[in-house]
Structure 1
C-alpha cells in the first residue's frame, strides 16, 4: 500500500521539526501577522560560534581543492534541493517574516534564492592576462579567502543569505551564517536544505544575538564579512573587523529617491512606482523611499499611484489573495508610525492610509501616501523602511537632483521619463550605486549591485561579486 502524499503543512512541519533545538536555550518566534507561534529557534552563544568557525576552517581546504567545476556542480544540486522544498520554505518564510506567499514575496524569494545560487555556479571567472609584451607575462587570478562570515537581515532573509553564501562557496570559501534574530527560522530551514547536499562543515550557522554577530566580525579565523543591514550596524562591523584587517562587503541603509520628469504617462508608470516603493511592504533597502514629481504631471501621477495603492490587498501572508503583509516587527511598525504622525502634525497631507489599527492583531500599517512640502521632515530625511511614501512636488530638474542628492546615503535611485536620452542624463547626476530608468529596485544576478556614500561599499552579483569573494593574486613570469 502506498504512503499518502505529504500535505503542505506536513512538509513544512517536518522542516520546522528538523531545525527545532532539542536542548539548550531557545526562544519563541511569533508570526507578525497573527501573533501565533511559528516555532522555536536556538539561541547560540560564543562557544557555539567557536565550534562552527572551527568546523568551517577544517572543511575549507578540501572544499577549495574540488575546483570551480566540481564546486559549481554541487551548488547546482543544492539549488535543486531548494526547488524540491520550495513550498515548505516559502510557508515558513511567510509565517515568520510576514510577507505573503504571492506577488513579489515569499514564493518569489525562494525562487530567487534558487536562481541566484544557479547564477553563482554558472558565472565564468577566467584568469585575466594583464600584460604579455614578450618580456613580461602577468596574469590575475583569484584564490579563496578562507572562511567567510555572512550576517543577514530580516527583510529578505533567504534570498540575501544566498547572495552572500552562493559566490563565497563557489570561490572555494566555507561560510558561517549569522541570521537576524527576527527571522532565524527561515535561514535555519534554508541551511538545513542546503546541507542535505553540501559536504559537512562547508556551511555552518549560528543563531544568536548581537554579541555573536560582533564576535563573528572580530574573529581572527574569519577572512571576510558580508553584511546587509543598517548603516549604524555596518559601522560597528567595520570597527570590529579592523584589528584583523578583514575584507568587507557592506550593503547598508538607503533612502532611495525617484524623480518623475514632466513627459511621463502617469497611468503607464503608476504600477511601477507602486512596486518600486511598496515591494515587501516597503521593507527593502533599495525600495523607492522619496518620490519627486514635476509640477506639470504631479496631480495625475499622484492620482494614478493612489488608485493602484488602494487596490492592493494587505493581510495575513498565508491567505493567497494578499500581496502586502505586516511589518516584520513592532519596532519597525513604531518607526513608520512615528514618522507619519510627525509629518501629519507638521501639516503634511495624507492621501491614502496613515490610520493604522494600533491595538489590532499583527503589525499591519496601511499603504500610505503623503504629500510633503517640508523637505526636512523625518519622513523624507530618514529611511522609513515601511509602507509610507513621501511625495514632493518640484518645478525644475536641477532642484529635484539637488534634493535627491541631499542625504548621506546612496544605494539606489530612479528616473521616470518617456525620453530615455534625457532620463540617462539625469541618472548620471544622481549619487547612487544603481540608477534605474522607468523602474526601481530591479536586480539581476549578472549585474553588479552596491551602494554609494554611507550605503556601504563592495559589489555583489556576477563576475564582480565572485571577485569580491576571492583574494586577487598576480602571477608574474
Structure 2
C-alpha cells in the first residue's frame, strides 16, 4: 500500500483550502502498517469560529438559500456526478484510511453518489407544504424553510458514505454546513471538499474543520450560530453533545450505538439466516452500528447452527484491504484494536468459549482481529451487553419466543433487530414487540433510502432518511391568510355613549 503520494490535508473554509489557525498538524496513521500516512491540519475553536462565520454569512447574505430550487439542486446533482467520476480514488482512499476491504468501499462510493441524487429528487417531490381552509374565512398553509448553519459530526466507519448521508439533505434543503469528520479517517472527507469545490458551490456554503472531538467537535456543538447538530457515533459522546448543546437550544439528531439481536427460530431458512448473520457481523470489519452482535439461536438447531458458523469463520479471508478477495481488514486504529482485544479477553474471563480465526504472520503489523465467536454466552455478560464494535459475535441459546423477546429487549440499546422464522405471524408479532428503531424480518441489513433510520433507548434521538430528514433540516412555517369578512374583537376603543330620551327633551 503506497502512501507516498498522499498529500497533507488542510481545512476547507469559505471556498479555500487553509492551514489551521495555529499551524498545528496531527498524524494520520495507517491501520495496515501503523505508520503515518500523512499530516492533517489540527483545527481548534478558532478554526470553528472562522468556519461558522463563513457558513453563517453564506446563509444570511449568500445566494444559496435564495436561489431557485432547480438551480440549487443542479449543484447537488453535479456533486453526485463528480463522486461517480472519482469513485475509484474514493474507494482506494477509504480502504487506505480505514482498513475496510476495497470490495466493500467501492459499494460505499456508489451509495454516496446515490445519496446526493436521491435528495435532489426528494426535495423536488416531497418537500411540499399543506393547506387548510377554514370555511370561507381563512386559508392556512405551511412552507419548509432552511434552518441555518448545520454542524455535522461524522464517524470513522464507512466515513465517506456517512458524510454524504448528512451533507446531501443539509445542502439540498438550503442550509449551509460545517463538517467535523472523525480524526481517524480524514482522507475521504478531504476528497469530498475537493469534489464540492470543483462543483462550484458558493463560498461558505460547505466547510470542513479537521481536528479532535474534545476541541473542534466541542466548539462546533457549543457555537451559538450553529442551529443544527447531526451526530453519528458512540452513545457516551452523543449524550455529551446533547448536554453541551442544550444551552443554545440546538436541534440534535443522534444516531448512536447498538447491540442488535439476531433471532434464529428452529423453523428458519438456515442457509439464508447463516449468510445474513455472518455478513451482518463480519462485513465492515464488524465496525457497523447495526451489526448483529448478539445471536440468539433456538435450542433445537443451536448445535448445528454453531457448527456451520465455525466453518464460515474458518473460511473468512483475512488480508490486505487493497486485495479484492479480502473479506476482513485491520481495525481503524491501534486504540480501537486494543479495546476490542480487551473485550475478547474479558469474554474468556466471564466463561465464554472463544472461537477465533488466525491472523497470517505477514499481517501482524496491522490492527487485525480475526472473526470471533463467543459461545456459551449469557445475555447478562458484559460482552453481550456492551458494544464491542468489532468482528465479535456472542451466541446465546433460547427456548421460547417469550424468553428470547425478554433477552432481546434486555439491553440499553435499541437500534436494530433481525428475526428469522417461516412462521410469518410470529415474525410480525415479535418484530412489533422488539425495542428497536428498525427490524429486518427474514432479511439481511438492506435499506431503502426512503425509509427512516434511527434507534430507540440509548441508540439515538430522532430519525433521518427519506422525507423524515426534512423534519430535522427544515423549519416548518405556518402562514395564515384571511379570505373573507371577519369580526375582530375591538380592544382599547372608547365605546360611544348612549343618549337617553330625557336628554333629547
TM-score between both structures, scaled by the size of structure 1: 0.93
Match of 1:99 in 2: 100
Q: 1:351 Cα shift?
A: 3.3
Unaligned runs of 5+ in 1: 1-7
Unaligned runs of 5+ in 2: 12-16, 482-505
CA gap of 1:343–1:358, structure 2 versus 1, over 3 A, is farther
- The 3 A distance-change label for structure 1 pair 137 and 242 is same
Alpha-carbon offset, residue 438 of structure 1: 1.9
Structure 2 contact 10–19 (Cα < 8 Å) conserved: no
User: Residues 73-102 of structure 1: CA distance to partner in whole angstroms, max 9, x if unpaired?
Assistant: 110001111111111111111111110111
Structure 2 distance, partners of 1:22, 1:283, is 31
**1:55 aligned to 2:65?**
no
Structure 2 CA distance, aligned partners of 1:201 and 1:470? 19
> Which residue is equivalent to 1:399?
403
Partner-residue secondary structure (3-state), 1:462: coil
Distance 1:97 1:391 in 2: 27
What CA distance in whole angstroms lies between the structure 2 residues aligned with 1:297 and 1:68?
A: 56
Tell whether the 8 Å contact from 1:339 to 1:379 is kept in structure 2 after alignment.
Answer: yes
Secondary structure of 1:288's match? coil
Residue in 1 that maps onto 2:112: 113
**Which residue is equivalent to 2:448?**
444
Q: Deviation above 6 Å: which 4+ runs of structure 1?
A: 14-23, 354-359
1:261 CA drift (Å): 1.5
SS of the equivalent of 1:286 reads coil
Q: Which residue number corresponds to residue 231 of structure 1?
A: 235
Residues 129-144 of structure 1: pairs in structure 2 closer than 5 A: 129=130, 131-134=132-135, 135-144=137-146
Provide the residue aligned with 2:226 in structure 1. 222
Measured after TM superposition, the shift of residue 443 of structure 1 is 2.0
Q: Deviations over 1:87-136 (max 9, x none)?
A: 1111111111110111xx21111111111111111112243325224344
Give the match's secondary structure for 1:435.
Answer: strand
Q: Is the 2:27–2:40 contact (alpha carbons within 8 Å) kept by the matching residues of 1?
A: yes
Identify the residue that residue 493 of structure 2 maps to in structure 1.
none
For the residues of structure 2 that align with 1:126 and 1:87, how far apart are their CA atoms?
33
The whole-number CA distance in structure 1 between the counterparts of 2:356 and 2:427 is 29
2:86 corresponds to which residue?
85
Task: Indicate the structure (1 or 2) with the bigger Cα radius of gyration.
Answer: 2
Change (3 A) 1:14 1:385: closer
Between 1:255-264 and 1:300-309, the stretch displaced more is: 300-309
The match for 1:3 is none
Does residue 454 in structure 1 map to residue 462 in structure 2? Answer: no
Given that 1:276 and 1:288 are in contact with CA atoms closer than 8 Å, whether structure 2 keeps it comes out as: yes
How big is the alpha-carbon RMSD for the aligned residues of Structure 1 and Structure 2?
A: 2.3
Q: Does structure 2 conserve the Cα–Cα contact (< 8 Å) formed by 1:177 and 1:206?
A: yes
**Where does 1:185-224 land on structure 2 (aligned, <5 Å)?**
185-197=187-199, 198-209=201-212, 210-224=214-228
Residue 411 of structure 1 pairs with residue 415 of structure 2: yes
3-state SS in 1 of match to 2:239? helix
Residues 267-292 of structure 1, C-alpha deviations (whole Å, 9 max, x = no match):
22211111111221110111111011
* Residue equivalent to 2:36: 37
Q: Say if 1:211 and 1:18 are closer, same or farther in 2 by CA, change over 3 A.
A: closer
Measured in 1, the distance between the counterparts of 2:87 and 2:67 equals 28
Query: Which is further off, 190-199 or 85-94?
Result: 190-199
C-alpha contact 2:80 2:116 (8 A) present in aligned 1: yes
Distance in 1 between residues matched to 2:171 and 2:386, nearest whole Å: 35
Any idea what SS the aligned residue of 2:293 has? strand
TM-superposed CA distance for 1:359, in Å, is 10
Which of 388, 393, 410 is equivalent to 1:389? 393
